[in-house]
Structure 1
Amino acid sequence: MSQINNDRRRLLQAFGASATLAGAALLPGGAFAAPQKNRKLGRVVVIGGGFGGATAAKYLRKWSNGAIEVVLIERNKEFISCPTSNEVLAGNRDYASLVHSYDALKKNWGIKVVHAEVSAIDPEKRQVRTSHGEQFGYDRLVISPGIEFNFGAVAGYDEKAQQKILHAWKAGPQTIALRQQLVDLADGGTFVLSIPKAPYRCPPGPYERASQIAHYFKTHKPNSKVLVLDGNDKIISKTKLFADVWANDYKGIIEYRPNWNTTEIDAATQTVTSEIGDKERGDIINLIPPQGAGKLARDAGVINANNRWATVDWVTLESTAVSNVHVLGDATLSSPLMPKSGHMANQHGKAAAAAIVEILSGRPAQPMLMANTCYSLVDARRGIHVDSVHRYDPEKKQLLVVEGSGGVSKEPSVEEGLFARAWARNIWSDTLS
């Protein structure tokens, strides 16, 4: 791909005209034939209103021409975006900008949105029950449960410790609380960021967080330090870009230690211990625990890989463990080099929606080409990115990276920072409006 074409594609991605966010254009041979209006194809229940579930709900209605009834069950009354939440920690974005309504899904697409916990799933009867006593039958079930934390993998990380030692890896109250800890920190204090071994949600996220907080310290608390304790053997995403930024812009502020896997924490003394017995103390400890598919996936019986993740058919996103149940986003056992990202969850939602429309219309589902873009802000204005394109391989039954596709930024730039913020606005709109 020439640099000119690459730049053009990146501009389209950032400002909303790319095939990456256009959905049906990614299907082989162009868009599929939508059913006639007023025809009824059945009901799909979608559980989880994040990037995967909300996208699936919207595009099921859109691509079926309203022929599929969609019930979206989401326990939270508002959508809170994890992407861009690191900027809130550094004071470079208002928390309110992360928070979005589900109203447009109801008004624009006729989706029944139910705010409740799911109390039971019965795959045999194809029924879902909620904590409010409602019961919904389905022809197809879509679950997008996100991740759950394995606090038990870190000794001492009990409920009491969790009140003090925050992860802020699900945007919400902990984002606000961690920001306040940073504001209250005396100049000269140390912020310790502990990163689990991969896979985890958002591969570049911890390194973006380190950069954002280092920028905050450099600007407001120049004697403070960021100590990054990484359970992996190196920076696992945008490796050279982050390393260069830290060396050039945050020298003396960020200290990075690979192969430092936290296995114990003492909240009283603010001390973490590695698997080989090394200890570090911090004035603020930000410990991101190991992760697996959300509890809903376990309740649905779809976790069948390493007791952590759900394997799926990459043509339909249907679970390989439970029929008629489609699993999206971070909860899946990813294909090779496929990140657990908001952008990829959005793609999963579209792929599942397209497949279900075809299946309920009596036609075979076709694989969808998927693309991903992950932006990171390294200070208040400059951004970097990594992107990739994934095509289904029928022999390996996997989505594999297309040779020569994607890539990473050459260097941080203000232009990339503008792209990053435009990407966020665009994907929020694509998912929720």
Structure 2
Amino acid sequence: MKLTRRLFVGASAASAASLSAPMVMGQARPRVVVVGGGSGGATAARYIAKDSQGAIDVTLVEPSREYYTCYFSNLYLGGFRELDSLAHGYGTLASEYGINVVHDWAVGVDREARTVSLAGGATLPYDRLILSPGIDFVDGAVPGWDLSAQDVMPHAYKAGTQTALLKAQVQAMPEGGVFAMVAPPNPYRCPPGPYERVSMVAHMLKANNPTAKILIVDPKESFSKQGLFEEGWQKHYTGMIDRIGPDFGATNVEVRPDTMEVLIDGVAEKVDVCNVIPAQKAGRICELAGITDGNWAPVIPHTMQSRIDENIHVLGDASAQGDMPKSGFSANSQAKVAAMAVRGALTGSQVFPARFSNTCWSLIATDDGVKVGASYEATDEKIASVEGFVSQTGEDAALRKQTYEESIGWYNGIVADMFG
């Protein structure tokens, strides 16, 4: 038999397991299956494989061969990045860390048998399961819209082809046309995201279609970094952006994709592009596993374990964990806590108290970056905010440019942390 690098990794890992990992039900190495290859799942898979030094068999299930980050996808809309710069592959996780990367959909979890079913027919056994599937949309959240309408009224809240479609639609708007966004209710992925998107669309339109208008239909009374965005919009995009909140009918919204209309409290508005961002819930595999409270998956903050099944950990957007926003940084931070907990449970390694952090950067215009963030700790009830920070209105241009440059450094760091 030819000794390939893959077999060599397996052989050396089995040897390491005999020294440092307990036997689990007679098998050579305990098995961890990770579903979802984004900021939570890819990070967790990498850290478990890396820190266990091969003592744990790690399988990552992700249908896409390239992962497009949702964070920084708005900058593609604004012309500050290319779409390809958001795409990342899984080759290093497989070749350098010995992770079994399976490109397929997870379609079921048998919690009693501890198996994951894949759309292609395979069944994966696990000792611990990590679910980090991101978001799905709540059916009927915006009357008149469902996934069949996403090519006419894109959500672009899962990056990739939807993001490219939305940009193409904005670029094709007639002179003086109207871009409408139906913003989501809380909680949702990336709280500042819709408003950074408005900023980036405004940036594109200011350069190419300066008489165009932007209409935000928002069911929330307030939103993340509101003062900062509104200051920026007034400074950079005067008269272009109008926001309709709940006091003016934004909780009673319907869309008509066939006629490109948005109905606000019964009054029809004709628009040229409509970005519908519906209410959100945990990715469907959490529901299929039976670990949600209806929309989200409650977790134990110290370990990110499901409150329903201790053998399952839930990360990132899908989890109901307390004070952390649903963001890529949050998922990455939670993944490291979960990876440490899983490794401790399966190999007896030391587990330290859980600590978390998050920062969300947003770009309003060229070199005009703002941020909000906090540090967190685990309590028995929730992940609790300890200390926070936020950019201030009236900051000088040099500080705003520094904040934007800081965000670029963070982006490069997190994708390296996820994909090696």
For normalisation by structure 2, the TM-score amounts to: 0.89
| Equivalent position to 1:391, from 377, 384, 406 | 377
Give the conservation status (yes or no) of the 8 Å contact 2:21–2:348: no
Tell me which of 259, 265, 284 is aligned to 1:269.
259
Once the two structures are superposed, residues 383-423 of structure 1 have per-residue CA deviations (whole angstroms, 9 ceiling, x without a partner) of 111110001234xx3221114x4333553622211111121
Equivalent pair of 1:37/1:66 in contact (CA under 8 Å): no
Q: Distance in 1 between matches of 2:149 and 2:252?
A: 15
In the other structure, the counterpart of 1:241 is 228
CA drift of 1:363 comes to 6.4
Task: State the identity as a percent.
Answer: 39
**How many angstroms apart in 1 are the aligned matches of 2:266 and 2:44?**
46
Q: Give the corresponding residue for 1:310.
A: 297
Residues 161/138 of structure 1: CA separation in 2 closer, same or farther (3 Å cut): closer
How many pairs align?
391
RMSD, aligned α-carbons: 1.8
CA contact (8 A) 2:151 2:165 kept: no
Q: Distance in 1 between matches of 2:147 and 2:318?
A: 24
Q: Secondary structure at the match of 1:51?
A: coil
1:426 alignment partner in structure 2: 413
The 5 Å alignment of 1:32-431 reads 39-41=20-22, 42-234=30-222, 236-259=223-246, 260-261=250-251, 263-274=253-264, 276-304=265-293, 307-336=294-323, 338-362=324-348, 365-394=351-380, 397-403=381-387, 405-409=388-392, 411=395, 413-431=400-418
| Distance in structure 2 (CA, Å) of the matches to 1:169 and 1:264 | 19
Q: CA deviation at 1:366?
A: 4.1
Q: Describe the superposition over 1:32-70 as per-residue Cα deviations: whole angstroms up to 9, x where unpaired.
A: xxx989634511010111100000000111222221110
Listed one character per residue, the Cα deviations across residues 91-132 of structure 1 (whole Å, up to 9, x for unaligned) are 221000010110111112110100111232111111112222
Superposition deviation, residue 367 in structure 1: 3.2
Is the partner of 2:151 in helix, strand or coil?
Answer: helix
- Code of the aligned partner of 1:89: L
Does structure 2 retain, via aligned residues, the 8 Å contact 1:197–1:261? no
Runs of 5+ consecutive residues of structure 1 not aligned to the other structure: 1-34
What's the counterpart of residue 4 of structure 2? none
| Shift, 1:190, TM fit | 0.8
Structure 2: gaps spanning 5 or more residues? 1-15, 23-29
CA contact (8 A) 1:193 1:228 kept: yes
- Conservation of the 8 A alpha-carbon contact between 1:382 and 1:417: yes
1:18 is matched with none
**What amino acid maps onto 1:340 in structure 2?**
K
Q: Is the 8 A contact 2:297 2:314 kept in 1?
A: yes
Question: C-alpha offsets along residues 331-353 of structure 1, whole Å, 9 cap, x if unaligned?
Answer: 111313x1000000001111100
Counterpart CA distance in 2 for 1:278 and 1:202 is 30
The one-character-per-residue Cα deviations of 1:64-91 (angstroms, maximum 9, x if unpaired) are 2221110001111111110000111122
Whether the aligned pair in 1 keeps the contact of 2:20 and 2:347 (CA below 8 Å) is: no
